[in-house]
């Protein structure tokens, strides 16, 4: 008994077969890069994406050998928005990526009417697409996030669905997650007919008739929620952080957090997953730039040749030599949410070395990780005894040790670099009886390594205090951007 997972990220599509013991086989990947036709615009080609989904799914099934699969799970980048013709399945225009900022002015205008929507949500992206292809709202179109488009593609047009985790970040559902918000649809002039059915994250929703044997589609989750489940964080209080281009910390809470849009310490309530109609809630904290800082050192400063070299260069010196870095290249997310903050180095002297600068960058990202941990604990009231970590930066030994030191707690490294695939498999597998329930998933967690914080709590406290002072100096660098809030 196995599960096929189709995992769509920002830059490509991956498919793999997950066995009952959690091993991942037959991994196949195809690059599907977004385009930027003009500043602030991020688009993707839905047809290219659909072709890639079918390609890697068939290839993964063939590579994993005979026997077929008992189910299909889907994990996906969230909030990316696609509109297509219901009768033909043809995309009505480009997909608008989650990073796209074309609707910033629309969001600010809506704030004047008491409506809080962020440009990274699907809501205003959908309005922009409908205004382009169906201004009179008389056509018969379908809207979907990437999970919806993948399910439509795999089912050859018979499934028009989204799960509760993806619906929850569109900006179009009621605050309790119970369904689409008719009032919001009316304000935005979005016909209810374009919307997909909201379904469980774990449960059969249709058949993948485009694949051999037509296995059931029975697991769907947004990427961060899939990573949460994939790292066994299915008990209240357990938390994971994914450090990729950006950084996301997600904590399993259970009941809905007691705030609607954003908590006092900058976290968001999210649907962690839904099964049997029952929602499990979580909280999410956001770092706008994590691995981006390493890419900046490589591509722009050119003080390292590869991302991997950041580890070896930083490890060549025992400390950052008093240099402190605030990784605010794109502003600061949780807890302060300051879009006008900017990256800042402090403590540079004539004797500062390249290695110390690189180390300061990694330590700065680690301190932002500590920000996310502290914010989640304060907003939810649930302690995070240890932090589970995946994503590309989890392979950076110097960074992981700095994260353990900054958070003053053990860091448990995911046995797979990208836990989204495993999480989507677990959700699909529970629906098919491969795994019993969420408790079995939690019990199955086995980190590949545990990195303990180093002794010296006083030194760690001093480093934390100095970094927080630096963060305050990085804030309000561009006051007019600092005044924006979504």
Q: What is the DSSP string of 219-271?
A: EEEEHHHHHHHHTT--STT-EEEEESSSEEEEEEEESPPS-SS--TTS-EEEE
Hey, how many other C-beta atoms are within 10 angstroms of the C-beta on 29? 17
How many other C-beta atoms can be found within 10 angstroms of the C-beta atom of residue 52?
23
For residues 206-232, b (16+ Cβ closer than 10 Å) or e, as one string? bbbebbeebbbbbbbbbbbbbbbbbbb
Over the stretch 324-338, which tens digit does the pLDDT of each residue have?
999 999 999 999 999
Q: 356-379 pLDDT, tens per residue? A: 999 999 999 999 999 999 999 999
The three-state secondary structure class of 358 is: helix
Give the pLDDT band of residue 418 (cuts 50, 70, 90): confident
pLDDT in the model for residue 126? 98
Its sign, for the CA torsion 478, 171, 148, 185, is negative
Q: Which of 66-70, 138-142, 257-261 has the lowest mean pLDDT?
A: 66-70
pLDDT for 260 equals: 87
Q: What is the pLDDT of residue 413?
A: 98
- pLDDT tens string 81-90: 999 999 999 9
Q: Is the pLDDT of residue 1 over 90?
A: no
Confidence of residue 68 (pLDDT cuts 50, 70, 90): confident
Q: What is the pLDDT of residue 66?
A: 65
Note the pLDDT of residue 80. 97
What b/e string do you get for 266-284 counting C-beta neighbours within 10 Å, with b at 16 or more?
bbbbbbbbbbeeebbbbbb
| Rounded-to-integer distance, Cα 152 and Cα 387, Å | 36
Is the Cα torsion angle 216, 150, 269, 363 positive or negative in sign? positive
Distance, in Å, from the CA atom of 20 to the CA atom of 425, rounded to the nearest integer, reads 9
If you average pLDDT over residues 460-476, what whole number do you get?
A: 96
What are the backbone angles phi and psi of residue 80, rounded to the nearest 5°? -60, 135
Strands 216-222 and 71-76: parallel
Tell me how far apart the alpha carbons of residues 296 and 329 are, in angstroms, rounded to a whole number.
9
What is the mean pLDDT of the segment spanning 403-422? Answer: 95
User: Radius of gyration (Cα) for the chain, nearest Å?
Assistant: 22
Res. 38: pLDDT tops 70: yes
Q: Does pLDDT of 92 surpass 70?
A: yes
pLDDT at 391: 94
Task: Tokens 């996301």: give the residue.
Answer: 248
* pLDDT tens, position by position, 11-36: 999 999 999 999 999 999 999 999 99
Per-residue tokens: 168: 């929850």
Whether the ω angle into residue 176 lies within 30 degrees of 0, i.e. cis, is no
Q: Is the dihedral of CA 353, 354, 357, 358 positive or negative?
A: negative
3-state secondary structure of 478: coil
Residue 200 and residue 177: Cα distance in Å, rounded?
Answer: 12
Q: Which of 229, 259, 466, 264 is nearest to 370 (CA)?
A: 466
Average pLDDT over residues 399-424: 95
Residue range 456-484: average pLDDT? Answer: 94
Given this model, what pLDDT does residue 439 score? 97
Structural domains of the chain, ranges and CATH numbers in brackets: 3-223 (3.30.420.40), 232-413+455-486 (3.30.420.40)
């Amino acid at each position: 008994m196995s599960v096929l997972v189709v995992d769509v990220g920002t830059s490509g599509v991956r498919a793999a077969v997950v066995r009952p013991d959690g091993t991942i086989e037959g991994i196949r990947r195809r690059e599907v890069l977004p385009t930027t036709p003009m500043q602030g615009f991020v688009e993707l080609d839905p047809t290219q994406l659909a072709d890639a989904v079918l390609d890697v799914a068939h290839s993964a099934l063939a590579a994993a050998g005979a026997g077929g699969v008992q189910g299909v799970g889907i994990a996906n980048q969230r909030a990316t928005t696609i509109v297509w013709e219901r009768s033909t399945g043809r995309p009505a225009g480009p997909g608008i990526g989650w990073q796209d900022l074309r609707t910033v002015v629309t969001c600010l205008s809506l704030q004047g009417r008491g409506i809080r929507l962020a440009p990274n949500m699907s809501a205003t992206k959908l309005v922009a697409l409908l205004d382009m292809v169906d201004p009179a709202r008389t056509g018969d179109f379908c809207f979907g996030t990437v999970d919806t488009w993948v399910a439509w593609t795999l089912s050859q047009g018979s499934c028009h669905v989204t799960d509760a985790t993806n619906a929850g970040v569109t900006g179009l559902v009621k605050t309790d997650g119970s369904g689409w918000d008719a009032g919001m649809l009316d304000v935005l002039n979005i016909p209810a007919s374009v919307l997909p059915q909201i379904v469980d994250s774990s449960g059969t929703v249709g058949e993948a008739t485009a694949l051999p044997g037509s296995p059931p589609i029975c697991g769907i989750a947004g990427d961060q929620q899939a990573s949460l489940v994939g790292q066994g964080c299915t008990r209240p209080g357990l938390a994971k952080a994914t450090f990729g281009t950006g950084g996301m910390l997600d904590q399993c809470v259970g009941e809905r957090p007691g705030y609607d849009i954003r908590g006092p310490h900058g976290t968001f309530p999210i649907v962690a997953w839904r099964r049997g109609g029952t929602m499990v809630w979580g909280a999410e904290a956001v770092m706008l730039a994590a691995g981006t800082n390493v890419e900046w050192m490589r591509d722009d400063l050119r003080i390292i040749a590869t991302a991997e070299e950041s580890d070896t260069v930083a490890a060549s010196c025992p400390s950052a030599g008093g240099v402190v870095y605030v990784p605010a290249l794109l502003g600061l997310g949780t807890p302060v949410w300051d879009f006008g903050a900017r990256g800042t180095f402090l403590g540079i002297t004539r004797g500062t070395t390249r290695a110390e600068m690189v180390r300061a960058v990694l330590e700065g990202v680690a301190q932002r990780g500590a920000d996310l941990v502290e914010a989640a604990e304060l907003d939810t009231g649930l302690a995070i005894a240890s932090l589970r970590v995946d994503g590309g930066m989890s392979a950076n030994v110097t960074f992981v040790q700095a994260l353990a030191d900054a958070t003053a707690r053990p860091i448990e490294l995911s046995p797979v670099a990208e836990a989204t695939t495993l999480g989507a498999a677990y959700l699909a597998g529970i629906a098919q009886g491969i795994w019993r329930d969420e408790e079995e998933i939690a019990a199955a967690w086995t980190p590949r390594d545990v990195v303990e914080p180093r002794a010296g709590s006083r030194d760690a406290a001093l480093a934390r205090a100095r970094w927080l002072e630096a963060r305050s100096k990085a804030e309000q660098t561009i006051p007019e951007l600092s005044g924006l809030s979504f």
